[in-house]
Chains A and B, each alone.
Chain A
Amino acid sequence: MNIYPYISLIPLIPFIAFVLLGLFGRKYLNTLSGIIGTFALGVSAFLSLATAYQYFFVDGKVDGVFRQMIPLKYTWLQFSSNLSIDMGILLDPLSVMMLVVVTFVSLMVHIFSLGYMKGEERFATYYSFLSLFTFSMLGLVLSSNIFQIYMFWELVGVSSFLLIGFYFEKPSAVAAAKKAFIVTRFADLGFLIGILILSFHAETLDFQTLIARLTDPQSSQLLSITTASFLGVSMLTWGLVLVFAGGAGKSAMFPLHIWLPDAMEGPTPVSALIHAATMVVAGVFLVGRLFPVFVFDGAALIVVTYVGAFSALLAAIIACTQTDIKRVLAYSTMSQIGYMMFAMGVSGKGGEEGLGYMASMFHLFTHAFFKSLLFLGAGAVIHLVHSNDMKDMGGLRKYMPITHITFLIACLAIAGIPPFAGFFSKEEILLAAFHSNKLVFFVALFTSGLTAFYMFRLYFSIFWNKETKPHSDSHGEGPISMRIPLVILGAFALLAGFAPIAKLVTPDGREIETHIDVLFSLTPVLLAITGILLALRLYKKENDIADKIATAFGGFYRSAFKKFYIDELYLFVTHKIVFNLVGKPSAWIDKNIIDGMMNKLAEGTAKVSFEIKGLQSGKVQGYALYFFLGIMGLSALFIYILN
């Protein structure tokens, strides 16, 4: 059966659910809304899997190469004869893989939330927002037009805003939601200008045409964009770097990462969906979408590489010092996305050189499972102890066996221990880096050791260490709806590494031969084990070694704990500079100078009229005098001057 005509239903069903639940949910369907939302997503997920099967294994390949397909496209807004926003669907290995990831994780989160959010007053609103997010994210990955992706990009941003601020009565949640939106909005400014630059020269907004024109050495459009330059850098590089800035904002890359840790104010399942598995990888997806152009340009790709590598390292260091479990996970997300980014960066355009791209996508795929599992596990823990802080936890393995085992699986996966999912994808990334950029390779290697350490620090602090008793009113691990997703995701965290991504998702659509080189793998695995052992020593039992080490590191520890003061720097720039040096003067000038001038003008007019009203005295003698003087003056004018 040809199912392509039904693909548009994949995003549309969640959209319908959003409208339905948003308008009528609260009044009429409050408790039902969870079921409705989950069912809608179940249908979408099923359709996605069917699409993936159809595309990957039935008819996606022509002559051994995966082709791009556009099963649907219509013009949404025609700007001019060649520029238009089209709403379309672009199917290629990248988008099909994302389709599966997004709907699958979203489905798990929908199911988990049935239990987690139970009893919440705005239950229907929660599900309508989840549906809105899923719709936007699906629209984003299916986009066939660069402006279409920008639109859904913004919609994803606003759904993230709404969900972070879901507990709107908490000022910290509102502040976090605002911060996330504004920081990503600032990044999107780059994206927008990047789009303007690329589309102006390429004379199209359509992805396929744009990529074809900007990678064809013969095309006049390429000539126009490479000859135009600003500050000595070609417009092509500018355009790509600016587009990447948008991606870096959504993907929380340094220096635009500051919103992600705060975003953890949202309900935990939301963090699992948006801030771990799907929205935050949109930046990687965007680079992947424009990958042929990035590779063609090269310079922009170098920016991607170093931003990714630096973010990976920075986030891993900070993660080692945080005590809020969700923040640890947030920094770990940032670090892992950094991996995906630099893997893209070190990749070549195809064949064996395309390993980096493939590895990046592979890691995105496996990461989605184990990271959402970690967040849902953390959610279950928070549900039990009513706190986010590691200090309030410990010894929980007895109270929540399923959470404990699945969390352990996820930790092993992210640490890169074979045969868990993360091992395979991380291995490919390291291999790709090793072949093209040694500096990045060593950074990545070191970071993977750190990753194992901080993840197991988290694991031991929650499930071992000192004993804490859950409250007497505790509900154990929560209802079955919370346990099922954990088990399913646990299975995937174990098995996703065997997914044949290398055969399916590559930059040029041809499969890449991969094999595990045992000698090469030895180093990272040993490093990871060292990290785990270190965490075991420090955190399995209650002791003060960790504190001593922290004290020994002194200033470095403190600044890492304070997230290297980046937040403070932003605060300084926005409040001190933007508000005080731009905002206040603008308002002052408006009130006092511009409006003041208008007021003075009015007062002046009134004054003049007050002064000269004396002339209209009604005294006939006076009038006669003025008349006489006027005649004299005019006569003088005519006689002496005009003559």
Chain B
Amino acid sequence: MNLNLLILIPFITALVVLFCNGLKQVRTVALLGSGLQLILAFWLLYCFYEERSAGNVSQMVFEYTYQWFAPLHINFHIGVDGISIAMILLTAFVVIAGVLVSWSMDTLNKEFFFLLLFLSMGAYGFFMSLDLFTLFFFLEVAVIPKFLLIGIWGSGKKEYSAMKLALMLMGGSALVFVGLIGLYFNTNIDGFHSFDLLQISKMKIPLDAQMLFFPFAFIGFGIFTALFPFHTWVPDGHSSAPTAASMFLAGISMKLGGYGCLRVATYLMPDAAHAYSEIIILLSTIAIIYGAFATLMQTDLKYINAYSSISHCGFVLLGIGMLTQTSITGAVMQMVSHGLMTALFFAAIGMIYSRTHTRMVAHLGGLLKVMPFISSVFIIVGLCSLGLPGFSGFVAEMTIFIGSWQNPETLYRIATILACASIVVTAVYILRATGKAVLGPITDAHFNTLGDALWNEKLAAILLVGGIVAIGILPFWLNDLITPGSQQIILQTGQNILLK
């Protein structure tokens, strides 16, 4: 299939939205566009299986190259493997759910849906890029609209949060750019430099260059995925953003970073990844534990989910840092799983907030009685977050634990045990929030008058719950999809602990 469709469709729908009149037209177009994205994503999955079963064993399939700037050997180069497809599927799910929960967006709806669709184009492009310049281009596309989304449609101290998020992510981008340029000038393909990911992966970057530029790329991307101590944009940014933007931010944006850490930093600079693995593990373990404990003290539902995202994204980086095939597969699974889960969590919080006008756990109570659907969704996503079997979180976390345990050094073992221990803390904060907000007696008489979810909210929730359960009950398809990709990355790092 032609991958350009996945970039063009969001782009075209975004443009069409600009020419629509009134909320009804705008949201219909947005829904059609995002529905088309979802269909395309599944079509891509189907085509990928067809291609593989037809015997195509090349690392990337459906490649497309277009020369952008010949003198510097910059190409528009895209292609996908299983990991990319998993991320594309995630994006499609989150975007359509985001459109559905913003169904009655009342202010500047045209601009809002335009930005949302534009962002999704950036995400698709990023996950498909096989050229570092293309990749950086799409990364930027996916950063800037967020500033507007928060600054215009946000709540609370939105200007501060928008500025903080934009500055920190821009800082991350700048670091990434240094890393990419550093890579570029250390390549030598027939006497020329190259941005091409596959070409670079086949040649050996000098060790000192790797050691110099790996931190730039890894920290740069790491900021996107809440690498400790560069995670502070997450709580403010997520809680000030409107629901759909929070879903997009936590569900997809943070995954751009994880994907970049994996595909660019680790894959292209494997020796440095090894050398720095202890630091990565240290930082990610801190993020996991410390994020979990910080969540324990939060009183605002959005802050709870934001801090828990820091902890959960720590698992992604831990899986990458452990550098075993299983742990990397687990890291990608965790990205997909957390993306769906956190989007659903923000959706549920948004639904609660739009009815009760509060997000403070202390003010909420007994919602299960008055809004059984929304509350059930909240409980389900909570159970997924604390790693209950049957949901995606369990599969991803256990894969990471098993993969991490294959590293027999003491430091790695301690990190794994601490990561395991964090799921107990997760259970505590999830149950505290659930027990107070959803269960228990009704705290405010006016809650009795509130209604349950509308059809659009129900559809959004069902889609995301469906994704979580599909991974949780039948994990093997996702595992089979991702494993060849993570195997490729591990082969690159030259050690294969697991296939002992």
| Interface, chain A (partner B; CB < 8 A) | 26, 75-81, 83, 85, 147, 150-152, 154-155, 158, 165, 168-171, 174-175, 177-178, 181-182, 185-186, 189, 192-193, 196, 199-200, 579, 582-584, 586-587, 590, 594-595, 597-598, 602
Contacts and interface: CB of A to CB of B under 8 A. Distances in A.
A243 B304 CA distance: 32
Contacts of B403: 79-80
A83 B229 CA distance: 35
Contacts of A181: 427, 431
Closest 9 CB pairs of A and B: A587-B297, A151-B389, A586-B293, A595-B232, A168-B439, A583-B296, A586-B294, A196-B405, A178-B431
Given A185-B423, A200-B406, A584-B297, A75 B164 contact: no
Interface residues of B, number: 55
Contacts of B435: 165, 174-175, 177-178
A587 B405 contact: no
B479 A77 contact: yes
Nearest to B372: A26
Interface stretch (B78-86, B148-156, B275-283, B414-422): B414-422
A192 B420 contact: yes
Given A168-B439, A169-B440, A587-B294, A193 B420 contact: yes
Contacts of B297: 579, 583-584, 586-587
Contacts of A76: 475-476
Given A77-B475, A602-B167, 17 more contacts: A75-B476, A80-B406, A154-B387, A169-B369, A169-B439, A175-B435, A182-B424, A182-B427, A182-B428, A182-B431, A185-B423, A189-B423, A193-B417, A583-B296, A586-B293, A594-B232, A598-B232
Given A189-B421, A200-B406, A594 B229 contact: yes
Interface in B407-451: 408, 416-417, 420-421, 423-424, 427-428, 431-432, 435, 439-442
Nearest to A165: B439
B61 interface: no
Given A169-B369, A174-B435, A178-B431, A79 B399 contact: yes
Contacts of A587: 293-294, 296-298
Interface string B373-407: 00000000001001111100011001101110110
A80 B325 contact: yes
A547 B479 CA distance: 64
Contacts of B476: 75-78
B423 A81 contact: no
Interface string B202-238: 0000000000000000000000000001011000000
Given A182-B428, A185-B427, A200-B405, A77 B296 contact: no
Interface string B319-341: 00000011000000000000000
B390 A155 contact: yes
Contacts of A154: 387-389, 394
Nearest to A605: B167
A584 B290 CA distance: 11
B54 interface: no
Nearest to B427: A185
Given A182-B431, A189-B423, A598-B164, A83 B388 contact: no
B168 interface: yes
B368 interface: yes
A181 B383 CA distance: 11
B498 interface: yes
Most buried by B among A78, A85, A165, A168: A168
A168 B427 contact: no
B399 A158 contact: no
Contacts of A584: 297
Contacts of B402: 79-80, 83, 196, 199
Given A79-B402, A192-B401, A192-B420, A169 B366 contact: yes
B499 interface: yes
Contacts of A85: 398
Contacts, number: 126
19 contacts: A77-B399, A80-B325, A80-B406, A83-B402, A151-B390, A154-B394, A169-B442, A181-B427, A182-B428, A185-B423, A186-B424, A193-B420, A196-B402, A196-B416, A199-B402, A587-B298, A590-B232, A590-B294, A594-B229
Nearest to B296: A583
Contacts of B405: 196, 200
Most chain A CB within a 10 A radius of its CB, from B290, B368, B394? B290
B290 A590 contact: yes
A573 B440 CA distance: 25
B465 to A, nearest CB: 12
Nearest to A74: B476
A81 B499 contact: yes
B236 to A, nearest CB: 8
A584 B297 CA distance: 6
B479 A80 contact: no
Given A155-B388, A175-B435, A590-B294, A80 B499 contact: yes
Nearest to B167: A602
B313 to A, nearest CB: 15
Contacts of B369: 169
A444 to B, nearest CB: 33
A141 B172 CA distance: 50
Given A193-B420, A594-B229, A598-B168, A169 B479 contact: no
Contacts of B387: 154
Nearest to B236: A595
Contacts of B290: 586, 590
Contacts of B401: 192, 196
Interface-centre pick from A76, A147, A154, A196 (highest chain B CB count, 10 A): A196
A213 to B, nearest CB: 16
B394 to A, nearest CB: 7
A169 to B, nearest CB: 5
Contacts of B229: 594, 597
A84 to B, nearest CB: 9
Nearest to B383: A158
Contacts of A77: 395, 398-399, 475-476, 479
A586 B389 CA distance: 29
Contacts of A174: 435, 439-440
Interface string B457-484: 0000000000000000001100100010
Contacts of B441: 169-171
A516 to B, nearest CB: 44
Given A79-B402, A80-B498, A185-B427, A158 B475 contact: no
Contacts of A192: 401, 420
Contacts of B424: 182, 185-186, 189
A590 to B, nearest CB: 5
Nearest to A199: B402
B295 to A, nearest CB: 9
